[in-house]
Structure 1
Amino acid sequence: MKVKSLLARPFAGIVHKQIKKAAENSVEDQDRILKELITKAAKTDFGKDHDFDAIKNYEDFKKQVPIRDYEAFKPYIEKIKEGKHNVTWKGRPAYFAKTSGTTSGIKYIPITNDSISNHINGARNALLCYMVQSGNYNFSDGKLIFLSGSPELERTKDVPTGRLSGIVNHHVPKYLRTNQMPSYETNCIEDWETKLDKIVEETLSKDMTLISGIPPWMQMYFDRLQEKTGKKVGEIFPNFSVMVQGGVNFEPYKNRLIESIGREVDMVELYPASEGFFAFQDNYKEPGLLLNTNSGIFFEFVPAKEIENANPTRLSLKEVEIGENYAIIVSSNAGLWAYNIGDTVKFISKDPYKIIVSGRIKHYLSAFGEHVIVEEVEHAILQATKQANVGILEFTVAPMVKAEAGKSYHEWFIEFDGPPPADLEAFALLIDNVLREKNVYYEDLIAGNILERLKITPMQKNGFIEYMKSVGKLGGQNKVPRLSNDRKIADGLLPFALSS
Structure 2
Amino acid sequence: MDILTKAISLFFLQRQKNIEKFGQDTDIIQRRQLHALLAGARCTEWGRKYDYKSIRSYEDYRQRVPLQTYDDIKPYVERMINGERNILWPSIIRWYAKSSGTTNDKSKFLPVTNEILRGCHYKGGFDCVALYLRNNPESRFFSKKDLILGGSHSPSPLNAQAHCGDLSAVLLQNLSPLVNLMRVPSKRVILMDEWESKIKAIVENTWNKDVNSLSGVPSWMLVLIKAILQKAGKENLTEVWPNLEVFFHGGISFEPYRDQYKALIPSGKMHYVETYNASEGFFGIQDDPDNPSLLMMQDYGIFYEFIPMNEVGTSNPTVLPLEAVETNKNYAMVISTTGGLWRYQIGDTVRFTSLFPHKFVISGRTKHYINAFGEELMVDNADKALSLTCRETGAKVNEYTAAPLFILDKAKGRHQWFIEFEEMPPSISEFAALLDKHLQELNSDYEAKRYKDISLQPLEIIISKEGVFYDWLKQKGKLGGQHKIPRLSNDRTYLEELLEVNQREHYN
Query: Same fold judged by TM-score > 0.5?
Result: yes
How has the CA–CA distance of structure 1 residues 164 and 484 changed in structure 2, closer, same or farther, with 3 Å as cutoff?
Answer: farther
Question: What's 2:244 paired with?
Answer: 240
**2:400·2:487 contact (CA, 8 Å) conserved in 1?**
no
SS at match of 2:334: strand
* Aligned residues: CA RMSD: 3.5
Structure 1 residue corresponding to 2:182, chosen from 179, 182, 190: 179
Are 2:141 and 1:139 aligned? yes
Shift of 1:472: 3.5
CA distance in 1, matches of 2:455, 2:301: 28
Question: What's 1:276 paired with?
Answer: 281
Shift of 1:151: 5.1
How has the CA–CA distance of structure 1 residues 336 and 408 changed in structure 2, closer, same or farther, with 3 Å as cutoff?
Answer: closer
How has the CA–CA distance of structure 1 residues 190 and 107 changed in structure 2, closer, same or farther, with 3 Å as cutoff?
Answer: same
Alignment of 1:180-329 (within 5 A): 180-228=183-231, 229-264=233-268, 265-329=270-334
**1:347·1:355 contact (CA, 8 Å) conserved in 2?**
yes
How has the CA–CA distance of structure 1 residues 128 and 237 changed in structure 2, closer, same or farther, with 3 Å as cutoff?
Answer: same
Shift of 1:283: 2.2
Q: Report how many residues are paired.
A: 415
SS at match of 1:210: strand
Structure 2 residue corresponding to 1:126, chosen from 120, 125, 128: 128
CA distance in 1, matches of 2:173, 2:375: 32
Shift of 1:59: 1.2
SS at match of 1:474: helix
Question: What's 1:415 paired with?
Answer: 406
Shift of 1:192: 1.1
CA distance in 2, matches of 1:411, 1:21: 45
Residue identity in the other structure for 1:139:
F
**1:331·1:339 contact (CA, 8 Å) conserved in 2?**
yes
Residue identity in the other structure for 1:260:
L
Question: What's 1:387 paired with?
Answer: none
Are 2:181 and 1:158 aligned? no
Question: What's 1:19 paired with?
Answer: 19
CA distance in 1, matches of 2:344, 2:33: 16
**2:5·2:139 contact (CA, 8 Å) conserved in 1?**
yes
Are 2:433 and 1:472 aligned? no
Question: What's 2:37 paired with?
Answer: 37
Question: What's 2:150 paired with?
Answer: 148
Q: Map Cα deviations across residues 306-344 of structure 1 (whole Å, 9 max, x no partner).
A: 121111110001110101111100001111100011111
Residue identity in the other structure for 1:473:
A
Residue identity in the other structure for 2:212:
T
Q: Map Cα deviations across residues 200-247 of structure 1 (whole Å, 9 max, x no partner).
A: 111111111001100000110111122231320121110001111001
Are 2:171 and 1:168 aligned? yes
Alignment of 1:310-459 (within 5 A): 310-364=315-369, 410-417=401-408
**1:145·1:180 contact (CA, 8 Å) conserved in 2?**
yes
Q: Any unmatched runs of 5+ in structure 2?
A: 387-394, 411-415, 417-435, 460-484, 493-508
CA distance in 1, matches of 2:102, 2:333: 17
**2:102·2:108 contact (CA, 8 Å) conserved in 1?**
no
Question: What's 2:106 paired with?
Answer: 105
Shift of 1:170: 2.9
269-278 vs 168-177, greater mean Cα deviation: 168-177
Q: Map Cα deviations across residues 140-168 of structure 1 (whole Å, 9 max, x no partner).
A: 21010000035544243412322211111
CA distance in 2, matches of 1:215, 1:156: 33
**1:328·1:344 contact (CA, 8 Å) conserved in 2?**
yes
Shift of 1:396: 9.0
Alignment of 1:72-111 (within 5 A): 72-103=72-103, 104-111=105-112
SS at match of 2:449: coil
Shift of 1:411: 4.6
Shift of 1:38: 1.1
SS at match of 1:114: helix
CA distance in 1, matches of 2:142, 2:330: 37
CA distance in 1, matches of 2:249, 2:180: 20
Q: Map Cα deviations across residues 452-491 of structure 1 (whole Å, 9 max, x no partner).
A: xxxxxxxxxxxx9xx9799631399x998x997379xx9x
149-158 vs 38-47, greater mean Cα deviation: 149-158
Q: Any unmatched runs of 5+ in structure 1?
A: 366-373, 379-391, 420-427, 429-463, 491-500
Shift of 1:406: 12
Shift of 1:42: 1.3
SS at match of 1:322: coil
How has the CA–CA distance of structure 1 residues 102 and 70 changed in structure 2, closer, same or farther, with 3 Å as cutoff?
Answer: closer
Shift of 1:189: 1.9
CA distance in 1, matches of 2:447, 2:305: 35
How has the CA–CA distance of structure 1 residues 61 and 146 changed in structure 2, closer, same or farther, with 3 Å as cutoff?
Answer: same
How has the CA–CA distance of structure 1 residues 340 and 395 changed in structure 2, closer, same or farther, with 3 Å as cutoff?
Answer: closer
How has the CA–CA distance of structure 1 residues 173 and 65 changed in structure 2, closer, same or farther, with 3 Å as cutoff?
Answer: same
Q: Map Cα deviations across residues 58-105 of structure 1 (whole Å, 9 max, x no partner).
A: 111111111111001112112212221110111322421122224232
CA distance in 2, matches of 1:156, 1:258: 45
Question: What's 2:413 paired with?
Answer: none
* TM-score (norm: length of structure 2): 0.74
CA distance in 2, matches of 1:406, 1:184: 47
CA distance in 1, matches of 2:181, 2:215: 17
How has the CA–CA distance of structure 1 residues 84 and 407 changed in structure 2, closer, same or farther, with 3 Å as cutoff?
Answer: closer
Shift of 1:300: 0.4
**1:303·1:325 contact (CA, 8 Å) conserved in 2?**
yes
* TM-score (norm: length of structure 1): 0.75
How has the CA–CA distance of structure 1 residues 284 and 151 changed in structure 2, closer, same or farther, with 3 Å as cutoff?
Answer: farther
CA distance in 2, matches of 1:280, 1:2: 25
**1:151·1:163 contact (CA, 8 Å) conserved in 2?**
yes
**2:146·2:214 contact (CA, 8 Å) conserved in 1?**
yes
Alignment identity in percent?
31
Residue identity in the other structure for 1:221:
L
